[in-house]
Amino acid sequence: MNRWQQRWGIVFAVIALSAQAPTHGAEKLNGGDRREPRFLQEVYAGVVTNQTVTFTGQGFYREFVKHWSDKERADRYSIAILERPSARWGSLIWIEYANRKIFQIFVSPGRADIKSISEQAAELAYQNVVEADIQRLLIREPDVGPDEI
């Protein structure tokens, strides 16, 4: 099988799987019975993406995820850990939730206390995520979308 056939095979497999995706809550739309797919927020809840590239960033990610998974109901939130390395200054590491920066820290490459930094980051990030989620639930503005609050 050549590359073209492999790629199209993967594309067709993804299309077939998405067509069989689980659904919930039947709705009557335009007179027909159509099922509404799950919201992406429900499907990808609890995902912590790793977009770090350096050894320091990878260590931060591993330790952060250990402490993050210990938090109560942390599996409801999907977050991203990103890094911008600099040869001169070290790494800028930040955490995003709902396209918002909820935590940011500058880590020099020689930091031996990455475990304690990650633990503090998990605690602060969790507090900020919960606060952002509460604000999103409490504030209802018809002119403002939920991702803009």
pLDDT of residue 9: 46
pLDDT of residue 134: 86
Cα 50 to Cα 57: distance, rounded to the nearest angstrom: 9
- On whether the CB atoms of residues 92 and 83 are closer than 8 A, the answer is yes
Residue 23 belongs to a domain: yes
On whether both 77 and 52 belong to a single domain, the answer is yes
On whether both 34 and 46 belong to a single domain, the answer is no
Cα 109 to Cα 56: distance, rounded to the nearest angstrom: 6
Cα 119 to Cα 62: distance, rounded to the nearest angstrom: 11
On whether both 127 and 94 belong to a single domain, the answer is yes
Query: What is the number of structural domains in the chain?
Result: 2
On whether both 59 and 15 belong to a single domain, the answer is no
Residue 115 belongs to a domain: yes
On whether both 13 and 66 belong to a single domain, the answer is no
pTM above 0.85, yes or no: no
The maximal CA–CA distance of the chain, rounded, in angstroms, is 64
Instruction: Tell me which of 53 and 146 has the higher pLDDT.
Output: 53
On whether both 71 and 29 belong to a single domain, the answer is no
On whether both 52 and 19 belong to a single domain, the answer is no
Mind listing the pLDDT tens digit for each residue in 75-134? 888 999 999 998 888 899 999 998 889 999 999 877 778 999 999 999 999 999 999 888
- Ordered DSSP codes for 18-58: HHT--EEEEEEETTEEEEEEPPHHHHTTT-EEEE--SHHHH
What SS3 class is residue 65? helix
Residue 144 belongs to a domain: no
Residue 143 belongs to a domain: no
On whether both 11 and 52 belong to a single domain, the answer is no
Q: Where are the beta strands (DSSP E) in the chain?
A: 23-29, 32-37, 48-51, 79-86, 90-97, 100-107
Q: Which domain holds residue 119?
A: 42-138
